[in-house]
């Protein structure tokens, strides 16, 4: 019997496949389906700091356009503001409670945030609703000229949330930092239970017919997994928390590589949109088949076997220049 169990954020998972935050995890029946097809855990669709505010803003705008309400009962605006926020937040709390009632796998809530303001008290309600852990998708925008120090902002958010909740907190980051290795190591020392590398950044494109800017691909490509694999291989032996690999994991080969690099779990999203929840079982079977071929009976036996500390040539992960490689190409 193969042992696919893995510990992530202090939680015991039956296997290392975690469904990443997305609309597939935004309702209980889908979550049940993901569990049925073998998911080890789910990260719920994020509740967005902006989303809550924007909903309230829209309703406020409508009320303002209706001058009767606006002029005569301007206090209504305060009511709508609070009410709309409450409706959104309650729906999220119900999602957590519903999922916890219906599935046995760990349910990780998710908040997409950019500041340590308003929303942090909501983390307590998430905990009280029964979430097994909380993932913070800290989406600071690298094009934002106002923020001078992303790392400090992230640490402020973490500190505030860790003061608020006792459940494990994971932090999902983007792949754009001035000094990635240092940032990852520092964040791992803040008291968080895990790091998720990386969130997939929105990609723009240009339509050459209309010559307009358009949205690029929403889904990742299978080759994108290499980016997180590199940092996980380099740092999994040194960080003081769990590591989840995310972005571009579409195949069992990518899952195996991430575990060999030292990841505790992998998060899947795009592949499930493209191929359906059935893919989870297919990937798990392929993982087991590879383990059998290699003579492994548990993940622990090969986790980190190809981390930078354990490979003969760590420079493969460290090198950023291609000079020598290209020099050999005729
Ligand atoms: C349709 C869609 C919705 C997503 N929604 C969220 C979200 O609410 N919160 C979040 O942290 N990430 C969200 N993501 C990002 C995914 O969780 C994941 O990090 C990203 O897609 C990379 O993984 P993949 O290559 O397996 O798709 C979303 C991705 C997709 C494609």
249-296 pLDDT per residue, tens: 999 999 999 999 999 999 999 999 999 999 999 999 999 999 999 999
For the Cβ of 110 lying below 6 angstroms from any atom of ligand 1, the answer is: yes
- Please tell me the predicted confidence (pLDDT) of residue 39: 98
- Please tell me the predicted confidence (pLDDT) of residue 326: 61
Average pLDDT, the chain: 89
Q: How far is the CA of 20 from the centre of ligand 1 (A)?
A: 6
* Model confidence, pTM: 0.90
pLDDT at 311 over 70: yes
If phi over 0 gives left and psi between -120 and 50 gives alpha, with beta otherwise, what is residue 38?
Answer: left
For the Cβ of 45 lying below 6 angstroms from any atom of ligand 1, the answer is: yes
pLDDT tens-digit readout, 216-225: 988 999 999 9
Domains in the chain, CATH or no CATH each: 6-327 (3.20.20.70)
**Are the beta carbons of 287 and 252 closer than 8 angstroms?**
yes
Q: What is the mean pLDDT of residues 5-29?
A: 98
Q: Which of 6, 40, 1, 15 is nearest to 297 (CA)?
A: 1
**Are the beta carbons of 41 and 14 closer than 8 angstroms?**
no
Q: How far is the CA of 139 from the centre of ligand 1 (A)?
A: 12
Q: How far is the CA of 19 from the centre of ligand 1 (A)?
A: 10
For the Cβ of 120 lying below 6 angstroms from any atom of ligand 1, the answer is: no
Share of the chain above pLDDT 70, in %: 85
Phi, psi of 61, rounded to the nearest 5 degrees: -60, -45
């Amino acid at each position: 019997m193969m042992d696919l169990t893995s510990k992530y954020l202090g939680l015991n998972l039956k296997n290392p496949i975690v469904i990443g935050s997305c609309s597939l995890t935004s309702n209980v029946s889908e979550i049940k389906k993901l569990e049925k097809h073998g998911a080890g855990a789910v990260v719920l669709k994020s509740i967005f700091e902006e989303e809550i505010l924007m909903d309230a803003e829209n309703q406020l705008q409508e009320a303002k356009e209706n001058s009767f309400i606006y002029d005569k009962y301007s206090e209504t605006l305060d009511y709508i503001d609070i009410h709309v926020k409450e409706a959104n937040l309650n729906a999220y709390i119900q999602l957590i409670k519903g999922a916890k009632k219906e599935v046995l796998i760990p349910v990780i809530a998710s908040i997409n945030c950019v500041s340590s303001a308003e929303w942090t008290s909501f983390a307590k309600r998430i905990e009280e609703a029964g979430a097994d852990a909380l993932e913070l998708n800290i989406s600071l925008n690298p094009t934002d000229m106002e923020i001078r120090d992303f790392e400090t902002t992230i640490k402020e958010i973490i500190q505030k949330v860790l003061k608020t909740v006792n459940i494990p907190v994971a932090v999902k980051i983007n792949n754009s930092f001035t000094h990635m290795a240092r940032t990852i190591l520092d964040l791992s020392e803040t008291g968080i239970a895990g790091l998720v590398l990386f969130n997939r950044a929105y990609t723009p494109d240009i339509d050459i017919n209309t010559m307009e800017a358009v949205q690029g691909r929403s889904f990742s490509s299978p080759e994108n997994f290499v980016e997180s694999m590199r940092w996980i291989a380099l740092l999994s032996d040194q960080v003081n928390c769990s590591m989840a690999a995310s972005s571009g994991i579409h195949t069992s080969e990518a899952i195996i590589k991430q575990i060999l690099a030292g990841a505790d779990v992998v998060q899947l999203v795009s592949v499930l949109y493209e191929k359906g929840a059935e893919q989870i079982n297919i990937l798990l079977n392929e993982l087991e088949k590879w383990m059998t071929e290699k003579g492994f009976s548990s993940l622990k036996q090969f986790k980190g076997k190809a981390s930078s500390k354990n490979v003969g040539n760590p420079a493969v992960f460290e090198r950023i220049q291609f000079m020598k490689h290209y020099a050999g190409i005729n």
